[in-house]
Amino acid sequence: MPLKRTISVMLGKGSVNHNSRKFKAENIDTERTSQNITYCNKPIKQVYHNLFDDALERYNAKQNRADRRIDNYYEKIRTGRQGKPFHEVILQIGNKDNMSAISEDGQLAATVLDEYMQDFQQRNPNMRVFSAHLHMDEATPHLHIDFVPFATGSKRGLDTRVSLKQALAEQGFAGGARGDTEWSQWVRSEKEQLSQVMERHDIQWEQLGTHDEHLSVVNYKKEQRTKEVKALEKSIAKIQNQQLDVKAVEQIDAKNVPLSSKVMLEKEAYKTLVTAAQKYVVQVKRESKLEKALAAAEKAIAGLKERVLELTRTITSLTKQLDQYRSIRGRLDRGKLQSENTELRKQNNIFKLIIEQHGLGHLLGGKKSQRQERDAL
């Protein structure tokens, strides 16, 4: 029988020195520290240079006023109010009671988390991971992942800048109704990814406090299709931005060849025309393919939305039926108890009458019968 375990995804404090064990807290078993896994541990300032230096140079080149130029983007974010310079997420399977790090199941949890971590960066291209550690020297195996979220193509400030909200949006998490934020959508998606790895190791995801597990799965699939649509739209926009150089083609001067129906072109003009024709063919094929894929994805999303509504209606109906059942059962239980109480009262009265008639009250340790009282007088 497969194990059933919960999945926890929490925001961490981002203590990189603690995660890398440069300093050790009291809850750490140093004898097991060697079992920890370090996936990466890069200086965050170097990550900022790699991600934002080019964008910072472009931004500063546009500024006419010296006070608007930015000398150090990392320090500006760290000391400013726009957002955090990085974020940390902690992932755990089960708890210290059922997935202890020193148990066999705890070792299995470590295997699952390690496998999950392998594709994290590829799955989240807008979250640049600079520090990631699997800890086995605490009560329960867990992952610390520290990352810098960034977005591209910004119209304000740096064209590539720090932004968790925009980073998630570029990855297809657009946010929805109140409470259904980009972050909550991303967390659900990552839990699904982790649960798939768990299933490969015969561990079922135990979703506590959820009465609509099937609805959760459908919502996840809908989010995945929405991400696909976003990616397709981005690809189409990119292709459309690479439009043919029409002016260059129009400026080609074709000269008639005497005594012939052919025309003569300069060598460079010929190359321009060939290149334009090739680009046009490729562009048409790509746009056609992407538009078909986009239409299919939008159709799938529409179907999933209908399924969500259907499941929501079913859950509402079942909830009402359950409430009605509980109400009827409560009334039946009360009626049964009242009937039993009435019968017991009748039997009690009969017993009292028999005891009184036969003078048996003294055998029960109670008060003297009326006859005994009269004899005593």
Q: pLDDT tens across 212-247, in order?
A: 444 444 455 556 556 666 666 666 666 555 554 555
Q: In sequence order, what DSSP letters do the residues of 178-247 get, joined into one string?
A: TT--HHHHHHHHHHHHHHHHHHHTTEEE--TT-S-HHHHHHHHHHHHHHHHHHHHHHHHHHHHHT---HH
Of 154, 150, 299, nearest in space to 232 by CA:
299
CA separation for the pair 133, 24 (Å, rounded): 14
- Summarised one tens digit per residue, pLDDT across range 135-148 is 999 999 999 999 99
Domain CATH for 133: 3.30.930
**Do 136 and 87 have their domain in common?**
yes
What's the gap between Cα 242 and its chain centre?
A: 34
- Are the CB atoms for 20 and 38 separated by under 8 Å? yes
Tell me if 88 sits within 8 A of 12, measured CB to CB: yes
| 365 part of a folded domain | no
User: What SS3 class is residue 349?
Assistant: helix
Same domain, 177 and 247: no
**Full-prediction pTM beyond 0.85?**
no
355 and 291 part of one domain: yes
Q: Judge if 81 and 186 occupy the same domain.
A: yes
Residue 276, amino acid: A
Residues 244 and 350 in one domain: yes
| Domains contained in the chain, number | 2
Residue 375 pLDDT more than 60?
no
Q: Which domain holds residue 99?
A: 3-208
Residues 162 and 195 in one domain: yes
190-207, pLDDT tens digit by residue? 999 999 999 999 999 988
- Whether 373 is in a domain gets the answer no
Residue pLDDT, tens place only, 146-194: 999 999 998 889 999 999 999 999 999 987 777 778 999 999 999 999 9
The Cα 291–Cα 120 span in angstroms is 29
List pLDDT tens digits, range 10-31.
888 888 887 877 767 777 888 9
Region 303-309: what's the mean pLDDT?
A: 74
Q: 151 and 166 in contact (C-beta within 8 Å)? A: yes
E strands within 110-193? 127-135, 142-151, 161-162
pLDDT band, residue 371 (cuts 50/70/90): very low
Tell whether 39 is covered by a domain.
yes
Check whether residue 97 and residue 223 sit in a common domain: no
